[in-house]
């Protein structure tokens, strides 16, 4: 049985009437905060397999509540303290958490994990993952101080993004630099900050994503973007399909030397068969035409280039990922 709830005064009464609970999903409302810890613990004790927690805790609430209660630990106590005792959870999604300092997830059952909108208070988040059977991981707008991967040996798909602004690059870098620990992934979704990463030697010299078959890249088509794309493609010798999404830049590109501005672009794409460009009609037309011509010249086995129009920046085919397992 699947249950989707908004916190309300019924609290445990409703949960206790559902002895075969499989999924607990709710949107947090602060006036019922005293119930949430017990809800999550009840679900864990009854072997729930999926948790989807959207707390939407902003800075003002965190400060007010903590001033009134010295042992304030909600909403972080439930997932942090409970995971050692919840061996049956297979799907976990945490969103809109402000001020969490430590999140260590150790689970042999967890298969899908989504972390979204984690913002720092006084200290940056320490994130540690030890989930040998995890196959799908998404880290979206998470301000990490340190990201430690202990065991993600089954991971197939990895997604990460953050607002494309210079001040957020450090958080993005701390996540992406861990790719060498999950070099076996087959599907990667990432932003094009790769020129900046390559310039700062952020990638181990011998690192390659040998198993990567599918790449989704948020990118523009400036010289800066193309240099970054080329640096990423160098790491993906067996890539077969690539999807290019528009990248919404908040800051301008970093300046390039005259040499780099005039450097010919070379893509290493020996196995690339299909490229899909999601384009906003009327935007960057000349750059996209030049890019397509470049692909045609350099794609050894490339046999399909597809242009998908976006409307107001949203693809008509885009939808929320399914709960189903990631297909290998």
Domain ranges of the chain: 1-155, 182-328
Residue 39: what pLDDT?
A: 72
Average of pLDDT values for 42-69?
Answer: 58
pLDDT of residue 63: 46
**CA distances in angstroms from 197 to 146, 183, 192, 210, 266, listed in the order given:** 17, 17, 9, 19, 18
**Distance separating alpha carbons of residues 33 and 27, to the nearest angstrom:** 11
Segment 270-273 long-range contacts (CB within 8 Å, at least 24 positions apart): 270/237, 270/300, 270/301, 271/237, 271/238, 271/239, 271/240, 271/301, 272/239, 272/240, 272/241, 272/242, 272/299, 272/300, 272/301, 272/302, 273/240, 273/241, 273/301, 273/302, 273/303, 273/304
The rounded distance, in Å, linking the Cα atoms of 290 and 41 is 56
Give the C-alpha separation, 109 to 1, whole Å. 19
Q: What is the pLDDT of residues 138-169, one digit of tens each?
A: 999 888 888 999 999 999 999 999 888 888 88
pLDDT on residue 319: 34
Chain center to CA of 251 = 21
Site of tokens 């689970």: 107
**pLDDT (0 to 100) of residue 168:** 87
pLDDT tens, 178-187?
A: 999 999 999 9
């Amino acid at each position: 049985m699947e249950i989707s709830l908004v916190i309300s005064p019924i609290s445990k009464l409703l949960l206790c009437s559902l002895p075969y609970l499989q999924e607990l999903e709710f949107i947090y409302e602060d006036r019922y905060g005293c119930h949430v810890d017990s809800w999550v613990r009840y679900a864990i004790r009854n072997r729930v397999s999926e948790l989807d927690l959207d707390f939407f805790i902003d800075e003002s609430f965190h400060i007010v509540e903590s001033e009134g209660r010295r042992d304030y630990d909600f909403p972080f106590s439930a997932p942090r303290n409970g995971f050692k005792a919840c061996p049956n959870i297979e799907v976990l999604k945490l969103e809109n958490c402000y001020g969490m300092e430590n999140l260590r997830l150790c689970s042999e059952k967890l298969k899908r994990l989504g972390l979204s909108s984690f913002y720092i208070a006084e200290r940056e988040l320490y994130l540690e993952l030890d989930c040998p059977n995890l196959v799908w991981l998404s880290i979206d707008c998470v301000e990490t101080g340190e990201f430690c991967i202990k065991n993600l040996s089954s991971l197939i798909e990895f997604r990460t993004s953050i607002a494309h602004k210079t001040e957020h690059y450090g958080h993005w870098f701390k996540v992406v630099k861990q790719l060498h620990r999950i070099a076996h992934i087959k599907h990667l979704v990432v932003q094009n900050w790769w020129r900046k990463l390559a310039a700062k030697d952020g990638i181990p010299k011998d690192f390659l994503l040998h198993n990567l078959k599918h790449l989704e890249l948020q990118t523009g088509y400036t010289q800066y973007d193309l240099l970054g794309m080329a640096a990423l493609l160098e790491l993906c010798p067996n890539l077969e399909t690539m999807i290019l999404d528009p990248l919404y830049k908040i800051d301008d590109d970093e300046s390039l030397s005259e040499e780099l501005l005039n450097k010919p672009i070379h893509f290493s794409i020996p196995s690339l068969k299909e490229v899909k460009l999601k384009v906003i009609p009327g935007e960057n037309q000349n750059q996209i035409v030049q890019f397509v011509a470049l692909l045609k010249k350099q794609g050894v086995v490339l046999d399909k280039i597809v242009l998908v129009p976006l409307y107001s920046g949203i693809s008509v085919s885009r939808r929320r990922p399914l709960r189903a397992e990631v297909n290998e």
